[in-house]
């Protein structure tokens, strides 16, 4: 199994990157191949709304999204993570999700469905607010957006209270993230017996 992670935080070593990394480590421990993309190191431009992708074979914008499209096509799963800014995903996350438009046909059926129907997805958000239910409506919206793209949402994890401390200090969260990655790699809800 091949799993890619996309860190939509501008910080390469922040809470969101750490959380995605824990999921990928858990997946790697279960035998998956993994790769992480950090938005802060990439040049991904906003969608131009030119509809060139509808007329041709994909997005016409020549930037760092092109290798991500190729990786998405070849991968079995995506771990997508973003900090919550102003009660929404980060700007980097929005640019990434907008650019997924190039993967949708005019009938709004994902192009990558043909290659890999039901690509698995884990969504990870980090938020400063300690109340996990505070932004539930937005999280539900985000989940439904990825389901519209025909991702198979396997898990949705929210790390709370990250303003008052590092997520990496939370051992229970670390174990939850790694378990989620192992489950994803194993393709079931049953964990490997060590």
Q: Residue 42 belongs to a domain with what CATH number?
A: 3.40.50.360
User: What pLDDT, on the 0 to 100 scale, is given for residue 191?
Assistant: 40
Backbone CA torsion sign across 8, 115, 32, 179: positive
**Contact of 46 with 95, CB cutoff 8 Å:** yes
Whether residue 193 is contained in a domain is answered as no
Please give the Cα distance from 183 to 179 (Å, whole number).
6
| Residues 145, 39: Cα–Cα separation, whole Å | 20
Q: Is residue 93 part of a domain?
A: yes
Tally of domains in the chain: 1
Nearest Cα to Cα of residue 155 among 186, 132, 184, 178: 184
Token pair listed for 31? 């035998």
Ranges under pLDDT 70 in the chain: 105-108, 111-117, 163-165, 188-194
CA dist., res. 194 & res. 29, Å (int)? 11
Residue 94: inside a domain = yes
Residue 194 lies in a domain: no
Q: Per-residue pLDDT tens for 76-94?
A: 999 999 999 999 999 999 9
Is residue 44 situated within a structural domain?
yes
Quote the pLDDT of residue 171: 82
Residue 58 included in any domain: yes
pLDDT in tens, 97-129: 999 988 876 666 776 655 555 789 999 999 988
Position 191 in a domain: no
Q: Helix, strand, or coil here: 169? A: helix
The answer to whether 35 and 71 are in contact (CB under 8 A) is yes
Residue 52, classed as helix, strand or coil, is helix
67 located within any domain: yes
Please state the pTM of the whole predicted model: 0.90
Q: Which domain holds residue 175?
A: 2-186
């Amino acid at each position: 199994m091949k799993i890619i992670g996309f860190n939509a935080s501008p910080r390469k070593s922040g809470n969101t990157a750490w959380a995605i990394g824990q999921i990928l480590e858990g997946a790697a421990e279960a035998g998956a191949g993994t790769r992480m993309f950090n938005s802060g190191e990439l040049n991904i431009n906003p969608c131009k709304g030119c509809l060139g992708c509808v007329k041709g074979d994909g997005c016409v914008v020549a930037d760092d999204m092109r290798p991500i499209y190729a990786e998405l096509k070849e991968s079995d799963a995506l771990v997508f993570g973003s900090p919550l800014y102003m009660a929404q995903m980060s700007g980097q996350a929005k640019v990434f999700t907008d650019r997924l438009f190039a993967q949708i046909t005019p009938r709004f059926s994902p192009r990558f469905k043909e290659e890999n129907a039901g690509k698995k997805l884990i969504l990870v958000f980090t938020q400063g607010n300690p109340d996990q239910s505070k932004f539930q409506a937005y999280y539900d919206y985000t989940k439904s957006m990825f389901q519209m793209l025909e991702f198979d949402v396997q898990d949705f994890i929210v790390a709370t209270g990250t303003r008052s401390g590092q997520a990496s200090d939370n051992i229970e969260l670390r174990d939850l993230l790694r378990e989620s990655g192992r489950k994803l790699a194993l393709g079931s809800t049953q964990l490997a017996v060590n």
